[in-house]
A and B are shown apart, each in its own frame.
Chain A
């Protein structure tokens, strides 16, 4: 079977750094993606890791450890507009999503 685990909610303060973890168990694996979804909106792509290591895109970074079946999304210099749900997704030939982490940001 396939499963992705990520925390249901995370709270952080504006300007701070937050890390959202994701562990996965899938029959096949080509890479791990992260998507952001604001309330009422569609998921939008943030990052993709096919190989171990850190990928940086502006304030967002994503990490992957294939041997540990683990990845995380790191958000720096948090802004109020970062309040959203964040999904990890495994590329197992098809794209399978986790249940999402709701990020709350306090002023």
Chain B
């Protein structure tokens, strides 16, 4: 079974340029997360999807970040325009999304996209 696939693996852009990241979750996984991870820090939640619905985007800087998950499968995260402070690893994760309660919400992560903004 294929894992979570992200592309590109690395991206170098100049500030004020746009950039997009793509994620293909594990087949059958309803929940998809985008996280941002700075060096030496934990993953910081940006947005969570349940199928095609963004159910939590409170941490997404909406002035420059946007995301979509068409048809509840693949997802794209976009930054426009990029700023120096956006340099980080952008991680996509998926889970079965079995709901609340005592369910083990185990996340499977992709390899991430390392973004460098110059």
Q: List A residues at the B interface (Cβ < 8 Å).
A: 4, 30-31, 33, 35, 41-45, 48, 50-51, 87, 89, 91, 93-100, 102
Instruction: Contact check, A98 vs B42: say whether CB atoms are below 8 A apart.
Output: yes
Alpha-carbon distance between A24 and B107 when the two chains are bound, in angstroms: 19
Instruction: Contact check, B106 vs A45: say whether CB atoms are below 8 A apart.
Output: yes
User: In the complex, which residues of chain B have a beta carbon less than 8 angstroms from the beta carbon of A44?
Assistant: 109
Instruction: Contact check, B109 vs A43: say whether CB atoms are below 8 A apart.
Output: yes
Smallest beta-carbon distance A101→chain B, Å: 10
Instruction: Contact check, A100 vs B42: say whether CB atoms are below 8 A apart.
Output: yes
User: Please, how many residues of chain B have a CB less than 8 angstroms from a CB on the other chain?
Assistant: 25
Supply 18 A–B pairs (Cβ within 8 Å), ascending by A.
Answer: A30-B102, A30-B103, A30-B105, A31-B102, A31-B104, A31-B105, A42-B109, A50-B104, A51-B102, A87-B42, A89-B107, A94-B33, A95-B93, A97-B44, A97-B45, A98-B42, A99-B42, A100-B42
Q: Name B66-114 residues within 8 Å CB distance of A.
A: 91, 93, 100-112
User: In the complex, which residues of chain A have a beta carbon less than 8 angstroms from the beta carbon of B41?
Assistant: 99-100
Alpha-carbon distance between A42 and B44 when the two chains are bound, in angstroms: 14
Q: Is B14 positioned at the interface, with any CB of A under 8 Å from its CB?
A: no
Instruction: Contact check, A91 vs B91: say whether CB atoms are below 8 A apart.
Output: no
Smallest beta-carbon distance B96→chain A, Å: 12
In the complex, which of the residues B45, B103, B108 contacts A45, with contact meaning CB atoms closer than 8 Å?
Answer: B108
User: In the complex, which residues of chain B have a beta carbon less than 8 angstroms from the beta carbon of A33?
Assistant: 104-107
In the complex, which of the residues B43, B56, B111, B112 contacts A97, with contact meaning CB atoms closer than 8 Å?
Answer: B43
